[in-house]
Amino acid sequence: MKLDKLVDKYYHELNENDLYIWQYILHHKRECQKMSIKELAHNCNVSHTSILRFTKKIGLEGFSELKVYLKWDLMAKSNFELKIIDNTYHEFIETMNMMKERDFTNIMEMIDQAERIFVYGTGVVQNHMAREMRREFIYANKVFHPVGSGTEIDTILNNVTNKDIFIIISLSGDNETSVTLAKALEGLHVKRIGISKSGNTLLSKYCDEMITFKYEYFSTGMADIRYSSSGHFFIISSFLFLRYLEYLQVKQ
């Protein structure tokens, strides 16, 4: 069984530290396969016992077996499977159906009543979505403010009020920065809308509302590169805008 399948199997038993460790391993498999347990712990900002606990929770004997699984993952023949086209098509259809049929009244009211709307994305595609939301909603006289990382977030947190809202976009829903931001905003009583994959993610625990979608990582057929389609983000952005126009029409 591949590592990602093991993590999916035992996901409900993993805590925040475990998920941060997994996110690091997932995106640095080749480097992790060569690391000692102390090096991995240092890079994840956890203790080496946390690494050991993580391996036990996903059904492994210890760190050595984790490295064996990493080696198997990296050695596995990487082919693009044609069924991925059908799978992605059905994922997009499911996301569009959800955006069409779901009751978005509460989210629309949050957007409509907010004095300021900030949008934070955890990566390149998520930041593109934030800018796309700004472009679309300006046609409904709503200004969305994409937020950068680092000192920009700190400055906004020092000035944000409970009349503002934050939209936090994270593919995994377990990104450390996005979860930390959601926690901080919760403490400031600022309303939060999360956008991420479906499931019991850490982000979902700290947001007032979640918009989720199903996606699947797949092999590109090039070395150990794995990919997931970014189309969901832009489907959600476009439908949110359309649903907001619908909300305004009904409100009149």
Give mean pLDDT, residues 80-105: 92
Q: What confidence score (pLDDT) does residue 233 get?
A: 96
Identity of residue 101: E
Long-range contacts of 195-199 (CB under 8 A, 24+ apart): 195/129, 195/167, 195/168, 195/169, 195/170, 195/233, 195/236, 196/169, 196/170, 196/171, 196/172, 197/171, 197/172, 197/173, 199/11, 199/173
Identity of residue 209: E
pLDDT for residue 110 is more than 90: yes
pLDDT for residue 51 is more than 80: yes
Give mean pLDDT, residues 177-194: 95
Domain parsing of the chain, residue ranges? 3-75, 83-251
Q: What confidence score (pLDDT) does residue 117 get?
A: 98
pLDDT for residue 219 is more than 90: no
Calpha distance 99→148 (Å, rounded): 27
Q: What confidence score (pLDDT) does residue 222 get?
A: 65
Give mean pLDDT, residues 146-171: 92
pLDDT band at 99 (very low <50, low <70, confident <90, very high): very high
DSSP track, 126-189:
HHHHHHHHHHHHGGGT--EEEE-STHHHHHHHTT--TT-EEEEE-SSS--HHHHHHHHHHHHTT
Q: What confidence score (pLDDT) does residue 77 get?
A: 61
pLDDT for residue 149 is more than 80: no
Per CATH, the number for 3-75 is 1.10.10.10
Give the residues across from 166 on adjacent strands.
118, 192
pLDDT tens digit sequence for 10-27: 888 888 889 889 988 988
Give mean pLDDT, residues 79-86: 81
Please enumerate in sequence order all residues whose Cβ is within 8 A of that of 169, keeping only pairs 6 or more positions apart, or say none: 119, 120, 121, 122, 126, 129, 130, 178, 194, 195, 196, 233
Q: What confidence score (pLDDT) does residue 221 get?
A: 67
Q: What confidence score (pLDDT) does residue 23 get?
A: 85
pLDDT for residue 218 is more than 80: no
pLDDT for residue 244 is more than 70: yes
Q: What confidence score (pLDDT) does residue 95 get?
A: 96
What mean pLDDT is reported for the chain?
91
Strands 191-197, 209-213: parallel, antiparallel or unpaired by DSSP?
A: parallel
Q: What confidence score (pLDDT) does residue 81 get?
A: 75
CATH architecture of 83-251: 3-Layer(aba) Sandwich (3.40)
Q: What confidence score (pLDDT) does residue 92 get?
A: 95
Tokens 């991420």 locate to 196
Q: What is the pTM of this model?
A: 0.78
Q: Do the domains at 3-75 and 83-251 have one common CATH topology?
A: no
Hey, which of 38-47, 74-83, 111-120, 224-233 has the most confident mean pLDDT? Answer: 111-120
